[in-house]
Structure 1
Amino acid sequence: MTKIKEIPFRYDQVGSFLRPEALKKTREQFGNNTISAEKLKYVEDQAIIELINKQVENGLKAVTDGEFRRSWWHLDFLWGLNGVEQVIPEHGYQFNEVETRAASYQISDKVTFNPNHPFFEAFTFLNEHTPEGILAKTTIPSPTLLFNRKSDTFTYESYTDENVFIDDLAKAYHQTILKFYDLGCRYLQLDDTSWGMYTGFIENAKTEEEIKHWQQQCEAGVTVVNQLLKDLPEDLTITMHVCRGNYKSDWAIAGPYDHVAAYLAQLNIDGYFLEYDDDRSGGFEPLAQIYKNGPAKKVVLGLVTSKFPKLESEDSLIKRITEATSFIPLENLCLSPQCGFASTEEGNYLTEEEQWAKVRLVVDTAKVVWKDA
Structure 2
Amino acid sequence: MSVKNRPPFRYDIVGSFLRPAALKEKREAFAAGKISAADLKEAEDAAIQDLVAKEKEVGLHAVTDGEFRRRYWHLDFLTELEGVTEISAENWSVHFKGAQPKARTAKITGPISFGNHPFLDHFRFLKETAGDTLAKMTIPSPSMLHLICCVREKHYEPIPQYQDQNRLFTDIALAYQQAIRSFYAAGCRYLQLDDTSWGEFCDADKRKAYAERGFDLDELANHYVDMINRALEAKPDDMTITMHICRGNFRSTWFSSGGYGPVAETLFGRCHVDGFFLEYDSDRAGGFEPLRFIKDQQVVLGLVTSKTPELEKEEDIIAQIREAEKYVPLDQLCLSPQCGFSSTEEGNLLTEKEQWAKLRLIRSIAEKVWEDA
Deviation at 1:203, TM superposition (A): 7.6
Query: In 2, Cα distance between the equivalents of 1:193 and 1:207?
Result: 15
Retained in 2: the 8 A contact 1:202–1:210? no
Q: Is the Cα contact below 8 Å between 1:159 and 1:165 reproduced in 2?
A: yes
> Matched residues in 1 for 2:138 and 2:301: separation?
18
Aligned residue among 174, 179, 183 for 1:176: 179
Contact 1:87 1:105 in 2 (8 A): yes
Task: Normalising by structure 1, report the TM-score.
Answer: 0.94
Aligned to 2:357: 357
What amino acid maps onto 2:21 in structure 1? E
Distance 1:196 1:173 in 2: 21
Find the counterpart in structure 2 of residue 301 from structure 1. Answer: 301
2:291 to 287, 291, 296: 287
Residue 321 of structure 1, CA deviation: 0.4
- How far apart, CA to CA, are the structure 2 residues paired with 1:299 and 1:32? 43
Match of 1:135 in 2: 134
Q: Which amino acid aligns with 1:85?
A: T
Deviation per CA, 1:230-289, whole angstroms, max 9, x where unpaired?
142100000000121000000010011011111112110100000000000000001111
What are the Cα deviations for residues 3-57 of structure 1, in whole angstroms up to 9, with x where unaligned?
x983100100000000000000000000000001111011100000000000000
1:62 Cα deviation from its structure 2 partner: 0.4
Identity %: 50
Change (3 A) 1:117 1:368: same
Q: Give the Å deviation of 1:204.
A: 5.4
Distance in structure 2 (CA, Å) of the matches to 1:168 and 1:32: 37
Distance (Å, rounded) in 2 between the aligned partners of 1:167 and 1:94? 30
Q: 1:326 to 1:180 in 2, by over 3 A?
A: same
Q: Within 2, Cα distance between the matches of 1:29 and 1:209?
A: 45
- Where 2:52 maps in the other structure, the secondary structure is helix
TM-score relative to the length of structure 2: 0.94
> Is residue 15–residue 138 contact of structure 2 (8 Å, CA) maintained in 1?
yes
In the alignment, what sits opposite 1:278?
282
1:220 and 2:219 equivalent? no
Unpaired runs of 5+ residues, structure 2, are none
What pairs up with 1:1-373 in 2 under 5 angstroms? 6-90=6-90, 92=92, 93-114=94-115, 116-132=116-132, 134-148=133-147, 149=151, 155-157=157-159, 158-201=161-204, 205=208, 213-265=216-268, 266-290=270-294, 294=295, 296-373=296-373
Aligned CA distance change for structure 1 residues 87 and 151 (closer, same or farther; 3 Å): closer
Shift of 1:89: 2.0
In the aligned structure 2, how far is the partner of 1:212 from the partner of 1:74? 23
Give the letter aligned to residue 168 of structure 1. D
Between the two proteins, the alignment pairs up a number of residues equal to 364
| In structure 2, distance between residues paired with 1:249 and 1:37 | 30
Deviation, 1:101, is 1.2
> Shift in Å at residue 155 of structure 1?
2.5
Deviations 1:157-183 (A, max 9, x none): 241110001111100111011100000
Quick check: 2:30–2:37 contact (8 Å CA) kept in 1? yes
Q: CA deviation at 1:94?
A: 1.1
Q: 3-state DSSP class of the match of 1:260?
A: helix
Q: Distance in 2 between matches of 1:147 and 1:185?
A: 25
Per-residue CA deviations over 1:96-124 (Å, capped at 9, x if unaligned) read 2232211111100011121x211000000
Task: Provide structure 1 residue ranges, at least 5 long, that are not aligned to the other structure.
Answer: none
Amino acid in structure 2 at the alignment position of 1:342: S
* Superimposed CA distance per residue, residues 330-349 of structure 1 (whole angstroms, 9 cap, x where no aligned partner): 11100000000000000000
